[in-house]
Amino acid sequence: MTATTTTTVTLADLTRMLRESAGEEEGVDLDGDVLDTPFLELGYDSLALLQVVGEVQRTYGINVPDDAVVDAETPRALLELINSGQISAA
Amino acid sequence: MTTTTVVTGLGVVAPNGLGTDDYWKATLAGESGIAPVSRFDATQYPARLAGEVPGFVAEEHIPSRLMPQTDHMTRLALAAAEWALKDAGLDSGELPEYAMGAVTSASGGAVEFGQRELQNLWSKGKEHVSAYQSFAWFYAVNTGQISIRHKLRGPSGVLLTEQAGGIDSIGQARRHVRKGFQAVVSGGVDAGLCPWGWVPQLASGLMSTGQDPARAYLPFSADARGYVPGEGGAILVAENLDSARERGAAHVYGEIAGYAATLDPAPGSGRPPGLARAARNAIADAGLTPDGIDVVFADAAGVPDLDRAEAEALAEVFGPRAVPVTAPKTMTGRLLAGGAALDVATALLALRDRVIPPTANVIEAAAGHPIDLVTGAPREADLRSALVLARGHGGFNAALVVRRTP
């Protein structure tokens, strides 16, 4: 499990993985401007975030600590966490 | 003043029909859903037949957010619950917050989901295990997902008494209605058609190893050789009769008139099994005597010793061949925690249409069984009350009397 890529995970990557691993709430447009929309408003609870962080780890080899994930309340905060995790992993 | 509890909504997911209407039509026509297992490769096991629910496309019934976090079993249960509430015309949003609850039965939980995630753990590592494994496998998951989805904030629970659970959950629902809650979503839906669900049943030695779908599960027959398992069950809305009448419920399928549960004595004790006692207690609880029961939906284990014990219990309670007995589960297989709930739904449909569905594939009861087994074709009868019996592996017995509401 070593991070061999320096690819930055984007909002589009994150929303794709959210859809695939946790589904999509009816009435929510993940393709809209959701960078600062709280996950709760997007229909995602902490388990959904743990699920997507697992997907990030499998796809990008980036390890994000579980207890840090629950503090990331918006896609922007989670992406910052993911992309800074990549730096520390590399 | 006594509270009368009735069933106002049904949702059926059965191997011979998806939805109440398809199931009931198939059951009266004697159409079986038992076939070679397709949900996993069963060819390496001695038992290879099962009843699988046909035509269930989960995405058509389950919201996207619930797909990654639900097993096939829970998806079937959610669909059945939605249909049952729609059938009842009940929406928790229009009722006081704690007016409705949910009590369902379960056996081993969502074993297919659990097996997949354990395989991920063992073969790929912990980072490949779904976060939803934390609850998706759990035996209380159907009750939980149903109550969350429909905002049922009244009492909830789950009963694990193997095949008896479908009745026990309805008995528990009646208790809650008697305490003053308007309605409780009850019954059970189960599905364990995967190696993890299969092997423990094989180990019981009670499964049929027959390969012919028409000959593998023949309860009360001289050729009985075990049972065929299946997936599915029924969700029933149990409701206070006064509330149902007040709001003009579209259906009052019948009253949950009597309920009893017993446990068998420890093996080797020499004391008799508890099925007859459960039946007598449920009949007495309904304020009836055995001659007030017009049909019995049997547990129908399909195992010679267990069939004999049930036939003897029926003869003891009712007298030899004194009441029609049927086992429509010959068309679905035994549905674990969903089976008895489906039998109760079937009994209510039988009361509604005054017809006893047949026991499929069985030509006649074996000579030693003193019961009037309904075989071959449906039998019309002026049914007022039906007794449903169930036995769960490990000594659980449950009996429920449903009665046509005047």
Q: What is the pLDDT of residues B117-150, one digit of tens each?
A: 999 999 999 889 999 999 999 999 999 999 999 9
A70 domain residue, yes or no = yes
Residue A77 structural domain: 11-23+35-89
Confidence category of residue A66, pLDDT binned at 50, 70, 90: confident
A46 domain residue, yes or no = yes
Q: Provide the number of structural domains found in chain A.
A: 1
For chain B, what is the mean pLDDT?
Answer: 97
Binary contact (B131, A47; C-beta < 8 A): yes
- Judged by CB atoms within 8 Å, which residues 70-89 of A form the interface with B? none
A56 domain residue, yes or no = yes
Q: Is B130's Cβ below 8 Å from some Cβ in A?
A: yes
Binary contact (A26, B131; C-beta < 8 A): no
A42 domain residue, yes or no = yes
Mean predicted confidence (pLDDT) in A19-44? 94
State yes or no: pLDDT of A40 exceeds 80.
Answer: yes
State yes or no: pLDDT of A1 exceeds 50.
Answer: no
Percent residues over pLDDT 70 in chain B? 100
Percent residues over pLDDT 90 in chain B? 97
State yes or no: pLDDT of A88 exceeds 60.
Answer: no
Query: A70: which chain B residues are within 8 Å (Cβ-Cβ)?
Result: none
Mean predicted confidence (pLDDT) in B54-64? 97
Residue in A1, A22, A57 nearest the CB of B65? A22
Which CATH number characterizes residue A55's domain?
Answer: 1.10.1200.10
Which tops the pLDDT comparison, A4 or B260? Answer: B260
Residue in B63, B64, B131 nearest the CB of A51? B131
Per DSSP, the three-state class of B226 is: coil
Torsion of CA B29, B165, B9, B16, to 10 degrees: -20
Binary contact (A23, B66; C-beta < 8 A): yes
Confidence category of residue B45, pLDDT binned at 50, 70, 90: very high
A6 domain residue, yes or no = no
Task: Summarize pLDDT for B62-89 with one digit per residue, the tens.
Answer: 999 999 999 999 999 999 999 999 999 9
Supply the pLDDT for residue A90: 42
Report in angstroms the alpha-carbon separations of A10 from A4, A20, A78, A79, A82.
17, 15, 11, 7, 10
Residue in A23, A26, A57 nearest the CB of B68? A23
Q: Which residue has the tokens 């005047």?
A: B406
Closest-CA distance of chain B to residue A64, Å: 11
Q: Is B58's Cβ below 8 Å from some Cβ in A?
A: no
Closest-CA distance of chain B to residue A88, Å: 19
Residue A62: closest CA among chain B residues belongs to which residue? B127
Residue B130: closest CA among chain A residues belongs to which residue? A51
Query: B69: which chain A residues are within 8 Å (Cβ-Cβ)?
Result: 22-23, 47
State yes or no: pLDDT of A18 exceeds 50.
Answer: yes
Residue B62: closest CA among chain A residues belongs to which residue? A23
Tokens of A40: 């709760």
A76 domain residue, yes or no = yes
Binary contact (B130, A54; C-beta < 8 A): yes
Which tops the pLDDT comparison, A19 or A66? Answer: A19
Closest-CA distance of chain A to residue B58, Å: 13
Tell me how many degrees the CA angle B192-B196-B201 measures, rounded to the nearest 5.
70
Phi-psi region of B66 (alpha: psi -120 to 50; beta: other; left: phi over 0): alpha
Task: Summarize pLDDT for B274-322 with one digit per residue, the tens.
Answer: 999 999 999 999 999 999 999 999 999 999 999 999 999 999 999 999 9
A30 domain residue, yes or no = no
Q: Is B123's Cβ below 8 Å from some Cβ in A?
A: no
Handedness of CA B134, B140, B145, B151 (dihedral sign): negative
Which tops the pLDDT comparison, B352 or B92? Answer: B352
State yes or no: pLDDT of A2 exceeds 60.
Answer: no
Binary contact (A23, B63; C-beta < 8 A): yes
Confidence category of residue A86, pLDDT binned at 50, 70, 90: low
Supply the pLDDT for residue A89: 47
Supply the pLDDT for residue B127: 86
**CA B216 – CA B41 distance, rounded (Å):** 19
Report the candidate in B101, B230, B211 with the shortest Cα–Cα distance to residue B155: B101
Query: A21: which chain B residues are within 8 Å (Cβ-Cβ)?
Result: 68
Alpha helix ranges (H) inside B154-292? 165-179, 195-203, 241-246, 275-285
A51 domain residue, yes or no = yes
Residue in B65, B66, B127 nearest the CB of A54? B127
Q: Phi, psi (5° rounding) for residue B158? A: -145, 140
> Is the Cβ–Cβ distance between B186 and B172 less than 8 Å?
yes
Binary contact (A47, B132; C-beta < 8 A): yes
> Is the Cβ–Cβ distance between B257 and B383 less than 8 Å?
no
Task: Summarize pLDDT for B6-23 with one digit per residue, the tens.
Answer: 999 999 999 999 999 999
How large is the ipTM? 0.87
Interface test with A, best of B75, B129, B130 (most A CBs within 10 A): B130
Supply the pLDDT for residue A87: 53
Q: Is B64's Cβ below 8 Å from some Cβ in A?
A: yes
Binary contact (A57, B65; C-beta < 8 A): no
Q: Is B94's Cβ below 8 Å from some Cβ in A?
A: no
Query: A51: which chain B residues are within 8 Å (Cβ-Cβ)?
Result: 68, 130-132
Binary contact (B65, A43; C-beta < 8 A): yes
- Domains identified in chain B and CATH numbers: 5-246 (3.40.47.10), 258-403 (3.40.47.10)
Per DSSP, the three-state class of B327 is: coil
Which amino acid would we find at residue B371?
A: I
